[in-house]
Structure 1
């Protein structure tokens, strides 16, 4: 423990010296990384320095070599050649999805098809046997199930032909509102998949599609779901204030009379509020985090959709899972683990949610310097959803944990990193 505290103070001194040498205030640095000034103050005082996600942002903002903060090295950013950036992004995603499935060549084609499906232009030519509205609804339910069960490779193959079929149907179907709502949901799922795989650029494109179709549909349930993924992308890009404002503004139009609302309405609103929890906690805004959690708990009294085959996965369990994640983001590792323990013993039927619980537990253990416990939590997460544990964000967590294990006291962690393709 004393060694961990000494390391935290050392990291804090490095951050403070770098900031002062650049003649920048804590508030200025906080604004760049998308957090409150108190977050930078805590880091400089040796508190919260185990939150590797925040440390990475600070390292980038102050141009501190990652290894000086106990982080794994990452490639240096290249010059802003946008054509090259787009090529690199596509190559990265092709490789990422390929690592999740067999055979990789099939998956690479599927990714290229997904990118094309998001681009402007007419949909692919119709096939002789076009699907009915009911069949299209069933296919949309299937992609939601694939996401919740973390079958990302299959989801990547399934989305492009479905998007094309929905776009064709939306052009001439007499049931245009229903088809448009299904199309918006398919775009929302595309956003979620792309974010899982770290492709923010194409996620923005899919968000634009989801928002446009959600507004065209006119259904508040569909629109709330599009706002949810929009807020997710905003928060991922550190535009947390805008994400919180977007969720809050939309929720104000939809809240109230929960006992008279249908389950889909409540689930969409609840999930949007939980995205507000994520954005607010990432920003270090404890008040807004608690407000969103409290309202989501109120909604969960009237609805419980807690299966991987549901249109939207929202329940009191999901609210508690987000409370764990929020505590980790706020640097309250002890609170996070205390909240997580009863959930670890509870059956959670949705693999994506089970895996998220154990990944958040691993982050909390890592914040406490308990790398062996963090490694074990990650292996449990792998058992819940093997493809989810191989996404870029988790691989980065493993890399940072391994980098901090200077004495290689947890050899299994380093072996696990090699299995995931994490560079040493």
Structure 2
């Protein structure tokens, strides 16, 4: 993006933020600040003097040099610790499967819906259990997408409805596996197809799960109110069916509550965040103690993990770390979710200024789920921060972590 030399640092930050579709609250949260602070920076009411905060802003806005923010000039900071562009080798094949959808019925017979659903369920398990989940799941997705589309085109009646539910699951999984690496247009297409397939199947739990997925896309692209709206509507749709419903239907309903809790926490709405979390907690209490939803991993452990996330997003570091101290991460069967828990704990330690502890738990997160850490923006921001400002004795370890997750250190 070409920025006028006449723009101030604050104006440059605003232009870059808006070009990336980010709200002030989202960008400020990535920098450990509130939206009012960022507003003052953008309007020139407050001068931005901290190099570390410039580093955070540059990393969050994915620019390669701090002069893009400062306008250069003599004496200005010259080099950003670049986070690089996140990409993944599986993306071309996934792109082709999604964007080159066939309009004709396959010559070979369609997959049986039950067999197709079984393959999807196995791939969801792989997503949650592999430390190379994007690579391994990404290799399977193109075939699942094509087979799911072929089944929907070829079948009718109840078999077609079952195939639509499976196809919706495929597209939800595609959204998870390509998050932060897919072009924006693919992310929206995938989320919309997951919801459309579920609606065509007229199956409330599938619609609610697809809405949960759409809510993720909306929240991560800085549309928090729209994300709240869609998960609330999904909850209203599902609630009348919960009495006597399968456990997985209640699991989806609980996941919607946790989604809303994190969404409002990122906006600083503390009371609402804990009220939504309480609703999710009540759902978990109504389910068997060992219950885990197959795709959202909603259950007792995930509710407790989300309490840490909510507290961290609210910048209640002491509470977040206290909650984390009481957790047994091994009860969570999802490697991906365990790794993200430790990233949240690292963020809490950084909020308290304890970089040694933050580095230790980030190393744990990377050991548990290397690709989860590598392809999660908040984790990369933490890694960049640690490389920049870790204690001297920890610099080598911080550098190794930064290089492992793809953060440039030169």
TM-score by shorter chain over 0.5: yes
How big is each residue's C-alpha offset from its partner over 1:345-390, in whole Å with a ceiling of 9 and x where there is no partner?
6532221121111111011111111111011101111222222121
Could you tell me which of 99, 105, 120 is aligned with 1:119?
Answer: 99
Give the secondary-structure state (helix, strand or coil) at the position aligned to 2:315. Answer: coil
Could you tell me which of 287, 298, 303 is aligned with 1:314?
Answer: 298
What is the correspondence of 1:376-391 to structure 2 with a 5 Å cutoff?
Answer: 376-391=360-375
Could you tell me which of 380, 399, 407 is aligned with 1:395?
Answer: 380
Deviates more, 1:212-221 or 1:196-205: 196-205
What is the correspondence of 1:219-258 to structure 2 with a 5 Å cutoff?
Answer: 219-255=203-239, 258=242
Q: CA 1:92–1:422 in 2, change beyond 3 Å: closer, same or farther?
A: closer
Give the secondary-structure state (helix, strand or coil) at the position aligned to 1:399. Answer: helix
Partner of 2:251: 267
Partner of 2:117: 137
Partner of 1:162: 144
Q: Does residue 35 of structure 2 align to residue 51 of structure 1?
A: no
Normalised by the length of structure 1, the TM-score is 0.76
Partner of 1:14: none
Could you tell me which of 133, 149, 153 is aligned with 2:129?
Answer: 149
Deviation at 1:173, TM superposition (A): 1.4
Could you tell me which of 66, 71, 74 is aligned with 2:55?
Answer: 71
Deviation at 1:415, TM superposition (A): 2.5
Distance 1:131 1:328 in 2: 44
Structure 1 contact 267–305 (Cα < 8 Å) conserved: no
Distance 2:198 2:248 in 1: 15
Give the secondary-structure state (helix, strand or coil) at the position aligned to 1:195. Answer: coil
Structure 2 contact 260–273 (Cα < 8 Å) conserved: yes
Distance 2:286 2:174 in 1: 29
Distance 1:414 1:77 in 2: 18
Structure 2 contact 164–198 (Cα < 8 Å) conserved: yes
Q: CA 1:54–1:327 in 2, change beyond 3 Å: closer, same or farther?
A: farther
How big is each residue's C-alpha offset from its partner over 1:237-268, in whole Å with a ceiling of 9 and x where there is no partner?
12112211222232133236755221121111
Distance 1:61 1:252 in 2: 39
Structure 2 contact 141–174 (Cα < 8 Å) conserved: yes
Structure 2, unpaired ranges of 5+: 1-7, 15-20, 69-83
Structure 2 contact 129–336 (Cα < 8 Å) conserved: yes
Number of corresponding residues:
366
CA RMSD of aligned residues (A): 3.6
Give the secondary-structure state (helix, strand or coil) at the position aligned to 2:327. Answer: helix
